[in-house]
Amino acid sequence: SYDFTPMDSSAVYVLSSMARQRRASS
């Protein structure tokens, strides 16, 4: 189970958008 704070969620958001950007540029 994921017990995430809003800070955690925004970290997840940043990381996954970084990964998407990486995929888009590869």
Partner 1 sequence: QPPPESDSLEFHNAISYVNKIKTRFLDRPEIYRSFLEILHTYQKDQLNPKGRPFRGMSEEEVFTEVASLFHGQEDLLSEFGQFLPEA
Residues that bind partner 1 (CB under 8 A): 2, 4, 7-8, 10-26
> Token pair for residue 11?
């970290």
What are the residues whose beta carbons fall under 8 Å from the beta carbon of 12, sequence distance 6 or more?
4
Q: How far apart are CA 20 and CA 2, in angstroms?
A: 22
Q: How far is the CB of 4 from partner 1 (least distance, A)?
A: 8
Q: How far is the CB of 20 from partner 1 (least distance, A)?
A: 6
Q: How far is the CB of 18 from partner 1 (least distance, A)?
A: 5
